[in-house]
Amino acid sequence: MAAHIGITTSHADGAQRLDRRYTTAIEDAGGVPMPVPLTESDRTVEATLGCIDGLVVPGGPAVTEGLTGPLPEELDALSPLRATSDRRWIEACAQAGRPILGICYGMQRLNALAGGTIYGDVEAERDGAQTHSQKRGGTTHSVSLQPSSHLRRWLSTETLTVNTRHLQAIATVGKGFSVAATAPDGVVEAIEHENGRLFGVQFHPERMGSVTHPLFQSFLDRVRGASVPSSA
């Protein structure tokens, strides 16, 4: 069964934009990518919800909910339209039991909407934090996967070398979430919800090729499993 995956998009200069690497990663894993509209309409979300089996919330600008400190100058603020639209899609999919994968901004947004807090600038606020942004010279680093995490089982490894493209980071996890992976400096690199349907990674797996192909495959397997009626 092909899983239809909604993908939220960026918003700039009145236009929706989506890096094709997100759609390619889903297609390569056997899914059908379906970018969803930026919308302020609950009716649009409700009408579209029946067409998708899961949701990916990709990278983006600054998360502004639950901040523990000011945003750095080099980080763009989140547009009000994307903020409202993404919240509608996340809440509707979560309430309908659709699995959600948040990537970078997407992970931070899932966490913030669950009541977690976010460093505005992790390097400025967390003692010992390494550089996690390419804008500041960051490249790659390792992450340690928690033994009990879905991510550890999905990727079949204890450690993973990942890209690093974020200025913000999770300070405290939201209700129901637990830490699934951390960087060497302790910065949270992945979270998972106790309900088994909400997942987030701080790095960008769509840019990592075959290394993270199993992550997308396993997420799609989770989506397919969630769409099977309990009586089946």
Active-site residues: which are they?
A: 104, 204, 206
Give the span between the Cα atoms of 168 and 216, in whole angstroms. 24
Whole-number Cα distances in Å, 25 to 21, 50, 204, 211: 6, 22, 11, 11
Amino acid at 136: R
Distance in angstroms between the alpha carbons of the first and the last residue of the chain? 15
Is the four-CA dihedral 167, 173, 174, 179 of positive or negative sign? positive
DSSP character for 67? Answer: B
CB 22 within 8 A of CB 1: no
For 184-220, b/e burial (b = at least 16 CB within 10 A) is ebebbbbbbbeeebbbbbbbbbbbbeeebebbbbbbb
Phi and psi angles of residue 192, each rounded to the nearest 5 degrees, phi first: -140, 145
Give how far Cα 19 sits from Cα of 28, 143, 184, 209, 213, Å: 15, 24, 29, 14, 17
